Amino acid sequence: MLSYIIRRIGYSLVMLVLVSFVGFVIIELPPGDFLTQLLTELEGRGDRSAEDRVTELRLRYGLDIPLLPRYVQWATNFVRGDFGESFALERPVREVIAQRFWLTCALAVASILMVWVIAIPIGVFSATHQYTIGDQIFTTISFIGLGVPGFLLALLLLFYVVQFTDVDILGLFSREYRDAPWSFAKFIDLLKHLWLPALIGSITGTAGLIRIMRGNLLDTLGQPFVESARARGLKSRTVTWKHAVRMAINPLIVILGSEALPGIIVGNALVATVLNLPTIGPEFVRALQRQDMYLAGTTLVFFTLILLVGNLLADLALAWLDPRIRLE
């Protein structure tokens, strides 16, 4: 197991280096660097210190040295926690991300919980009651859900709220808590608001997982060991949950890591942009719109990092659950 963990972590680290290089290239991609624009803009405003500031930034990011050494410099800074500066916000990228980090995580965790809490029971129900009316209803709902991307649903929700209600259900906090310091009451308020964006952001993932869970469990339920468990006179409930579901759920862990999690990150980012939530997603979109590339590149690497960690955890969980993988 230990060697598996080490190999797996090593692999993730290699990936991270490659991903960070892409992040860096993306920062470099836009034609004409931001500083030139900044310089003209600052001079236009009649800012005397503009030239000094730009020269300082130019030196700091090594904009005059070749690409590869510049990457090394950027990566070293990155590891040290210096992600560069958001030129548009005039603040360090680190601050911008840190400010929104925990709420982003809260939203992601809520979405994942949502997916599992909804998808697994429905999937199990559908499989154990195959072709009943209940199964058909759930299958139809999951099919519909699969074709409704979260951000379009969020736009429709926004329309509904704007036109027909004035309820304060959008955003992550009620008005009175928005700028308040953290307290237990604020936390409860967050929980009250979190479910809606979490649900919308994970709708595609939930629908997909229902279908996969149903299919997997149907396959498992037909296998001899389930028959023999039944033949031994175990309760139907025990057979389903302890024998069949445990087997059928293994592939779902991989899917959670490799398909559901990216879906949730993307879904949440787009939904959060529609609903203007204080998470990283909308900031990423704004950064791209303004060509604020240090912020955008770092955020992309950051998203990918979450994914890599998610994949790593999923693989380790699977190895822990399924001994065959450890021995491979």
Partner 1 sequence: MSTAVPESFAEDQNTKEISQNYWVLVWWRFRQNKLAMFGGFLIIAYYFVCALTAEFWSPYLVDTTSDYLEAPPQRLQFRHEGRFQARPFVYGLTEEVDMTLRKRFFVVDKSVRYPIHLFVRGEEYRLAGLIPSNIHFFGVSSEESPDGYVYLFGTDRLGRDLFTRIIYGGRLSLLIGLIGQFLTISLGATLGVVSGWYGRVVDLLVQRITEFLSAFPDIPLFMALAAAIPPEWSPIAVYFMLTIILACVRWGGLARQVRGLVLSLREREYVLAAQSFGSSDWRVMFRHLIPGATSHIIVISTLAIPGMILAETALSWLGLGLRPPLTSWGVLLYEVSGIRAIQFSPWMLITIPVIIGAIWGFNMLGDGLRDALDPYGGQ
Based on CB atoms, which residue is closest to partner 1, 75 or 288?
288
Contacts of 71 (CB under 8 A, 6+ apart): 21, 24
Which residues are at the interface with partner 1 (CB under 8 A)? 15, 18-19, 22, 26, 29-31, 143-144, 146-149, 151-152, 155-156, 158-159, 162-163, 258, 262, 265-266, 269-270, 273, 284-285, 288-289, 291, 296-297, 299-300, 303-304, 307-308, 311
**Contact predicate 27/294, CB 8 Å:** yes
Nearest distance from C-beta of residue 196 to partner 1, angstroms: 17
Return the number of the residue (17 or 231) whose C-beta is nearest partner 1.
17
- Pick 26 or 35: Cβ nearer partner 1: 26
Residue 4 or residue 21: which is nearer to partner 1 going by CB?
A: 21
User: At its nearest, how many Å lie between partner 1 and the CB of residue 322?
Assistant: 21
| Two structure tokens written together for 162 | 């704007």
Residues 6+ apart with CB under 8 A from 297: 23, 24, 26, 27
Q: Which is nearer to partner 1, 15 or 234 (CB)?
A: 15
Please state the closest distance from residue 228 (CB atom) to partner 1, in A.
26
- ∠ at Cα 318 (314, 323), nearest 5°? 160
Shortest approach of partner 1 to residue 179 CB, angstroms?
20
Specify the amino acid at residue 194. L
For the CA atoms of 177, 188, 191, 300, what is the dihedral angle to 10 degrees?
60
Smallest distance from the beta carbon of 246 to partner 1, in angstroms?
A: 27
> Distance (Å, rounded) from C-alpha 136 to C-alpha 132?
6
C-alpha distances in angstroms, 183 versus 103, 107, 178, 179, 186?
15, 18, 12, 12, 5
> Whose Cβ is closer to partner 1: residue 199's or residue 239's?
199
Burial class (CB in 10 A: 0-12, 13-18, 19+), 151: buried
C-alpha to C-alpha distance for 304 and 299, rounded to whole angstroms: 8
Q: Furthest-apart CA pair in the chain: how many Å?
A: 87
Minimum distance from residue 112 beta carbon to partner 1 (Å): 15
User: What count of residues does the chain have?
Assistant: 328
The least CB distance from residue 102 to partner 1, in Å, is 20
Measured from the Cβ of residue 267, the count of other Cβ atoms closer than 10 Å reads 26
Backbone angles phi, psi at 173, to 5 degrees: -135, 155
Task: Please identify, using beta-carbon distances, which residue of 73 and 258 lies nearer to partner 1.
Answer: 258
Integer Rg of the chain from CA? 24
Q: Supply 176's token pair.
A: 């009175």
CB-nearer residue toward partner 1: 62 or 262: 262
Please, what is the minimum distance in Å from the beta carbon of residue 208 to partner 1? 11
DSSP state of 209: H
Indicate the SS3 state at residue 199. Answer: helix
Our CB check for partner 1 shows the closer of 193 and 211 to be 211
Least distance in Å: CB of 324 to partner 1? 19
Can you tell me the distance from the alpha carbon of 75 to that of 4, in angstroms, rounded to the nearest whole number?
27
